[in-house]
Amino acid sequence: MMFSETISMMKGGQNLVLCHDQADSDAVGAAFALARFIGADIGVPQAVATHTHKLLEELEINILIGPDVSRYEHVVVVDTAAPIQLKSSLPERFWLIDHHPVNTLFAQALGGLYDPVSSTCQLVYRLLKELNAPFDRQIGLALAAGIMTDTINFHKGDPEAFRAFGEILEVCQLTYEEVQRLYVVDERKDRGSICQAALNARKYTFGGYHVLVTEIDSNIPTFAARALFDLGADVSVVGFTKGEEVEIRMYLRQELAEVHHLDAAELFRTMPGMDAGTAWGYSLFAGYRARGELPGLLRAIVERFSQLLQEESIGK
């Protein structure tokens, strides 16, 4: 039986679409579109990523935190590459839709759709088209948001990602600006914080690659890291402290990641001194949360890149 037929047979059942922890827009968008088609709850192990909050509000999505996966007849896991990303929410039986180049979870699944393209949302779009599913503005916004963010605003991407994004805009009568608006910082105070973080950034050069590291006084480190990345950083690292807890976000340039075989999420998981926290993400973007001293953690990250890129720092 084709996977599309399996998905179609789930309609009307007791279904759950499960995202990885710290679910990003690709996970949330894919889950929403699929859940609308089969009729399903949407769940995450512990939390969604901060940058998805506007998308959640726009789509009025109800996310279950730590759902009891055992009570569902069908569980479809989306955008998840490894069992650790599901923590204690890993189901015994599940189907999987994912796009990550390295996936250690698919072997445990009953089956599904795995194709290492640019985003999981384009796989769900491909699946729904095959099923002649109806599309509306909300489904289109969900899928377009996932494609936009996982291509890093089309800084990278395979031809299908660009085609699918264009088709979604046309079919669902959306504009690029409507999707982009989900990820623009509106508050003047927050924009000021990003500007100040950029001005305070420390620049290091290792092996010809530019590493920008800074702290921000507002809980929007993802937006600030993206801003530094857009300024030209090959690696952008931004930290935020709230009480005893620290948040760090990091973007990697694709060329750097490919040449040096780096994975942003794996770097955080294996970084000396950072084993006490929680890391998530994928090859080009990662988040980290822990209790600790932010300046020391940022120094450890800089030192690690100095070692990996095998050249002494030229700090500015």
Stretch 18-29: mean pLDDT = 96
With 60 as the cut, is the pLDDT of residue 176 above it?
yes
With 60 as the cut, is the pLDDT of residue 254 above it?
yes
pLDDT tens for residues 68-120?
999 999 999 999 999 999 999 999 999 999 999 989 999 999 999 999 999 99
Question: Among 64-68, 150-154, 229-233, which stretch is predicted with the lowest mean pLDDT?
Answer: 150-154
With 90 as the cut, is the pLDDT of residue 184 above it?
no
pLDDT-based confidence at residue 156 (cuts at 50, 70, 90): confident
Please, where are the H alpha helices in 157-314? 159-171, 176-180, 188-200, 221-231, 254-260, 264-270, 294-308
Q: What is the mean pLDDT of the chain?
A: 93
> 3-183 adopts what CATH topology?
inorganic pyrophosphatase (n-terminal core) (3.90.1640)
295-299 long-range contacts, CB within 8 A, separation 24+? 295/215, 297/239, 297/246, 297/248, 297/273, 298/213, 298/215, 298/237, 298/239, 298/248
pLDDT tens for residues 29-38?
999 999 999 9
Q: Which two tokens stand for residue 154?
A: 């089309």
**3-state DSSP call for residue 190?**
helix
- Domain 189-308: which CATH class? alpha beta
Question: Among 49-58, 190-199, 307-316, which stretch is predicted with the lowest mean pLDDT?
Answer: 307-316
**Domain map of the chain by residue range?**
3-183, 189-308
pLDDT for 107 equals 97
pTM of the model: 0.78
8 Å CB contact between 218 and 189: yes
Stretch 15-20: mean pLDDT = 98
- pLDDT-above-90 percentage for the chain: 79
With 80 as the cut, is the pLDDT of residue 186 above it?
no
Question: Among 202-211, 242-251, 302-311, which stretch is predicted with the lowest mean pLDDT?
Answer: 302-311
Stretch 46-61: mean pLDDT = 89
pLDDT tens for residues 283-316?
788 889 999 899 999 999 999 999 999 754 444 4
pLDDT for 20 equals 96
